[in-house]
């Protein structure tokens, strides 16, 4: 609990600090009359930080949240450096290190856009990236290094223009970053295609947002390289599109239970709205009663304040229930198909327990899909017999061999092949497979017991006596 509290405090401190600094920069630039295209990214950067802190602060440790939370940091540093230079140049305040701060701020923002977008998307939603998509990281890292290196080689304004070699390096870096973002989008499409219905519902908005960001980055690369458009203007659509990613994650959280934190958000929104309503109600009643008191008695009434407090306190529960019901209809009521899907999933779970053979088939297919294994199979009964159900192939051998047992009796084996991308099965993965295999063993015993219970009932319905039942069993 203490570790979680510390993580939450750190996450929200970092997020709030970034938001405050960025808002202060906006106010300062407006006051100074200084405008540049990268300011269009500030709303998206604040959203990144706040959504990242929300995810990090949950009981489950979602590493993806840290990527969201820390992605804006380089851009925040760059904005602060730009503000420092504006204080010197626009407001004529004598401060040291003008050239060095300008040089640092001129390229410090690049990791927030060069690495963050592609490397964030390819890690969605658990913070991991399979080996098959690691090339996205290399494209983003290499592109960011070239882009930042080219920008960093530009001298202080007015000294000398950028050389053709510098421009070529900058364009090469921008092209690699755009290619990395395209690769990240492809990884998200692959995850969407192999996901189940719930995963697809969670990913559809994020997939759309990532597509918008990808188009914006590709547009920036094309118009800057092919048409020699000023780099700042070419990147303007990309700056604006950044806000799409945290917004889409918010929609997935509220509508489709991404990261299982929609309840926390809805509770927060409910109590913020209730507080606002009751606060306005309190102020309104106080003002009305005081005006009436002055009108009829000529002085303000302290009793009116006490009565109003009791009225507002009594209104809390009805108002809270009304707002809660409204939020329920707004964020969950429309997903009727989702509710029916939940009912059908529950029914299928019961059927799988009653029908252990169907349960065994489901266990193999779900295990192969969940772990991205090359294949899997299950034996029921004698291990040397023919497999009951197979999925994929085990050409490279078996990586996991789990016994299906109940009360110490061996009832079968579950075999899984190696995971794609060279990822090993963790201890937690193995424990989950053992629990599933034990559940299958229990289902086999339960089905056997149900079979013995149902046979006499079926026979009685058909008009058979106990001797006929025994004969049928034989």
pLDDT of residue 17: 94
pLDDT of residue 161: 72
Query: Residue 470: pLDDT above 60?
Result: no
Residue pair 440/404 in contact by the 8 Å Cβ criterion: yes
Q: What is the mean pLDDT of residues 215-237?
A: 90
Q: What percent of the chain has pLDDT over 90?
A: 26
Tell whether domain 339-448 is in CATH 3.65.10.10. no
Residue pair 62/260 in contact by the 8 Å Cβ criterion: no
Residue pair 153/90 in contact by the 8 Å Cβ criterion: no
pLDDT of residue 336: 44
More confidently predicted of 59 and 84: 84
Query: Residue 167: pLDDT above 70?
Result: yes
Instruction: Record the pTM.
Output: 0.60
Long-range contacts: 350-354, Cβ < 8 Å, 24+?
Answer: 352/443, 353/439, 353/443, 353/446, 354/443, 354/446, 354/447, 354/450
Pick from 83-97, 201-215, 259-273: least confident:
259-273
Query: Residue 214: pLDDT above 60?
Result: yes
CA distances from 398 to 119, 295, 310, 404, 415 (A): 32, 88, 70, 16, 6
Query: Residue 215: pLDDT above 70?
Result: yes
Long-range contacts: 387-392, Cβ < 8 Å, 24+?
Answer: 388/357, 388/360, 388/361, 388/412, 389/360, 389/361, 389/364, 389/365, 390/364, 391/364, 391/365, 392/368, 392/417
Q: What is the mean pLDDT of residues 350-379?
A: 79
Residue pair 375/390 in contact by the 8 Å Cβ criterion: yes
Residue 406 tokens read as 């109940």
pLDDT, tens digit (0-9, with 9 covering 90-100), for 14-28: 999 999 999 999 888
pLDDT of residue 468: 42
Q: What is the mean pLDDT of residues 414-441?
A: 81
pLDDT of residue 396: 83
Q: What is the mean pLDDT of residues 210-234?
A: 91
Q: Which of 61-65, 205-209, 464-468 has the highest mean pLDDT?
A: 205-209
Give the confidence band of 337 by pLDDT, cuts at 50, 70, 90. Answer: very low
pLDDT of residue 256: 57
CA distances from 272 to 15, 57, 267 (A): 20, 19, 9
- Report how far residue 173's alpha carbon sits from residue 115's, in angstroms, rounded to the nearest whole number: 11
Quote the mean pLDDT of the chain. Answer: 78
pLDDT of residue 320: 66
pLDDT of residue 147: 94
Query: Residue 282: pLDDT above 80?
Result: no
Residue 311 tokens read as 């009225």
- Report how far residue 386's alpha carbon sits from residue 389's, in angstroms, rounded to the nearest whole number: 9
């Amino acid at each position: 609990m203490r570790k979680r509290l510390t993580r939450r405090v750190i996450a929200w401190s970092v997020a709030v600090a970034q938001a405050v600094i960025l808002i202060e920069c906006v106010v300062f630039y407006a006051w100074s009359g200084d405008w540049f295209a990268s300011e269009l990214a500030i709303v998206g950067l604040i959203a990144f930080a706040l959504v990242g802190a929300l995810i990090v602060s949950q009981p489950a440790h979602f590493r993806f949240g840290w990527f969201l939370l820390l992605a804006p940091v380089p851009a925040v540093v760059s904005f602060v450096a730009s503000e420092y230079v504006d204080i010197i140049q626009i407001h004529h305040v004598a401060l040291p290190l003008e050239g060095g701060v300008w040089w640092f701020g001129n390229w410090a923002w690049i990791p927030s856009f060069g690495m963050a977008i592609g490397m964030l998307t390819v890690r969605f939603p658990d913070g991991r990236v399979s080996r098959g998509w690691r090339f996205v990281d290399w494209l983003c890292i290499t592109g960011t290094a070239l882009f930042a290196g080219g920008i960093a080689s530009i001298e202080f304004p007015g000294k000398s223009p950028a050389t053709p070699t510098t421009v070529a390096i900058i364009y090469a870096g921008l092209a690699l970053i755009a290619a990395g973002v395209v690769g990240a989008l492809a990884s998200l499409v692959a995850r969407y295609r192999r996901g189940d219905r719930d995963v697809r519902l969670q990913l559809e908005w994020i997939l759309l947002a990532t597509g918008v960001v990808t188009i914006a980055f590709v547009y920036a690369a094309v118009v800057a390289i092919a048409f020699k458009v000023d780099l700042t203007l070419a990147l303007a659509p990309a700056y604006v599109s950044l806000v799409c990613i945290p917004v889409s994650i918010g929609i997935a959280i509220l509508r489709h239970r991404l990261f299982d934190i929609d309840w926390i958000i809805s509770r927060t929104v409910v109590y913020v709205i209730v507080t606002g309503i009751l606060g306005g109600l309190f102020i309104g009643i106080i003002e009305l009663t005081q005006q009436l008191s002055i009108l009829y008695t000529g002085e303000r009434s302290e009793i009116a304040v006490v009565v109003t407090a009791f009225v507002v306190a009594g209104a809390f529960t009805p108002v809270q229930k009304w707002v809660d019901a409204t939020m329920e209809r707004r964020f969950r009521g429309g997903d009727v198909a989702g509710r029916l899907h939940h009912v059908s999933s529950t029914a299928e779970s019961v059927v799988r327990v009653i029908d252990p053979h169907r349960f065994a088939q489901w266990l193999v297919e779900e295990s192969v899909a969940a772990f991205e294994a090359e294949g899997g199979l299950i034996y029921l009964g004698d291990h040397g017999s023919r497999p009951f159900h197979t999925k994929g192939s085990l050409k490279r051998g078996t990586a996991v061999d789990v016994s299906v047992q109940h009360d110490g009796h061996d009832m079968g084996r579950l075999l899984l092949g190696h995971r794609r991308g060279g990822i090993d099965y963790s201890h937690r993965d193995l424990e989950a497979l053992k629990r599933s295999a034990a559940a299958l063993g229990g289902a086999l015993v339960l089905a056997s017991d149900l079979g013995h219970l149902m046979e006499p009932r079926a026979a009685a319905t058909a008009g058979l006596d106990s001797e006929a039942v025994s004969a049928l069993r034989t």
